A and B are shown apart, each in its own frame.
Chain A
């Protein structure tokens, strides 16, 4: 998933752009978290074995609540201020897309049934993972839980005037991740974006954290990527970096056979832009696909067509609603009362911790070594000025532009490149 081989490429060529950080060192930081992706992970991971899920008395799944509750408390205890970003209602899908999506899950359901019959445990595990879906009920439950915990949940929706058949379902799934990233860009006061997907960098999230939501038992340090330092290390501009990612092979556009991350980096450094690479490349050695929508992919990385709901712009971390939490978790969803009251205590003590200020909010770092040019790049990335904002908005409202987003190649046999999303679904 994400950009193929980018992680290794960065580790080799731009080690300064990524550093391992202790989970605890993010205290006081506001961090945007992709809620839907987290919920999906919780459904897969928390308390599920085979076809069994954690449920309440009425038989409704509660895995997502358990996961959301405990993970969020962990973040709060570390003094982190999480902002969960949910996506709004997806636009109406074409019927065929819906059908395709259902048939895929039905396949998995059939497979699961077969596996259950034959008693193959591995297969049961595999196929039951694939039948997991996030419904709007799950989303609503989590939103309610977060509200009770006093953690802000923001809904982001995308403007989408084109529902033509060319836009595949996968493309919509991808967009939903973009919404999180874009949210972080618009709301500058979010310090970083937490995601597991490497292409977050390509979307220009200034700081991007991996493994933030991993269970503490795994003891994986958080990996922090700083786009400006990555660019510095690779000696590329942001536009060149986007071209590099497209060449490596991203979710939106296939890669060229024979070009891996290393070659891609060499080519971009040598020629400077995709256009001149395509002009100069040895056409016999490297077969460029006939229909290679690199321009669209590029535009997509630069200007995800997402808008946030402006009414919810204010982020507030309030005190938890104790009574509400007990009602919701214990009475409605069968949580252990002792665990919940203990957790509420934790939230309350954690409040105190997040109020510690950081020196960086008073003193600004003076960089002595960074070249002026790089600093310019950084500025553009970090501060979407009102002017650029206006620009993206105006692009969005131009019908012509949307019509040009052609993504026929999205179906190109890379089904396995993003398993997490294959059966990601929202009840509509």
Chain B
């Protein structure tokens, strides 16, 4: 028996919007501690990890660990039917092949039940080791979204380099080049507008803008975004969900031929 009641229903809608472009089908894993998902895009270049901790739900009951395979497009279709102020409850019986989304209007005068078929998804779960990153940049999520959008009109890839001066996003395309530098800036009125750069080592990596652009779909979830970079690891783009968890995206860098590793 699974029953998760989320007062802030719009949050689940936003979460779905943030991952459905990247992944078509995924397994949602429920355990006593929370509601989570890990899925790779079809080309195995990007990975999304979602966690909604049980404490964030008004009511959280999960008797045993279950994994529910869902088509995210269909799930998003159903969640679109929920109003922004609605309370959403996710329900599933043990051994059932369906999941039910219940939407209650805040005034309790309308209750809608949507039942969705589950699917068997054969997916690989990747082990993501905890790592120390060379550089961590925290900046307003809207700003990051804007940069990615602007750069993708010029080129396909972005070089993100972090130095003492700040973080530089640069691209080049057929029509020319673009460079955007963001300096550390903590003297703002609101803390979420700050740009904070923690750097242990300068780092510079190349990424496909297409993926970064789809990550920025999570901007409505959080005012700030944290970008963690290390020269040997995929970049992590994290959007924190207040008091509940996070949506994290991992993206494999582009690798220059000559420094390519020989592992399979």
Contact = CB atoms under 8 A, between A and B. Distances in A.
A359 B254 contact: no
A360 B44 contact: yes
Interface of A: 16, 22, 24-25, 27, 188-191, 317, 352, 355-368, 382
Q: Which 5 A-B pairs have the closest CB atoms?
A: A357-B252, A363-B126, A366-B127, A365-B124, A355-B254
Given A355-B254, A355-B256, A363 B127 contact: yes
The prevalent SS among residues of B at the interface is loop
Contact of A359 (B47, B156, B264): B47
B219 to A, nearest CB: 23
B49 to A, nearest CB: 11
Contacts of B43: 24-25, 27, 358
Interface of B: 40, 42-47, 122, 124-129, 156-157, 206, 208, 232-234, 250, 252-257, 261-264
Contacts of B125: 365-368
Given A25-B43, A355-B206, A361-B263, 9 more contacts: A189-B263, A189-B264, A356-B252, A358-B44, A359-B250, A361-B252, A366-B125, A367-B124, A367-B125
A91 to B, nearest CB: 32
A356 B254 CA distance: 4
B127 A364 contact: yes
Given A189-B264, A364-B126, A359 B252 contact: yes
Question: Which of A317, A358, A361, A363 is most buried by chain B, counting CB atoms within 10 A of its CB?
Answer: A363
A382 B263 CA distance: 12
Nearest to B43: A25
Interface centre among A22, A191, A366, A368 (most CB of B within 10 A): A366
A317 B256 CA distance: 12
A381 to B, nearest CB: 12
Nearest to B156: A352
Interface centre among B157, B206, B255 (most CB of A within 10 A): B255
Contacts of A367: 124-125
A189 B261 CA distance: 9
Given A25-B42, A189-B262, A189-B263, A357 B127 contact: no
A43 to B, nearest CB: 32
Nearest to B258: A316
Contacts of B129: 363
A182 B208 CA distance: 35
20 contacts: A25-B44, A188-B264, A189-B262, A355-B206, A356-B254, A357-B234, A357-B253, A357-B254, A358-B45, A359-B46, A359-B47, A360-B126, A362-B234, A363-B129, A363-B234, A363-B250, A364-B127, A365-B125, A366-B126, A368-B125
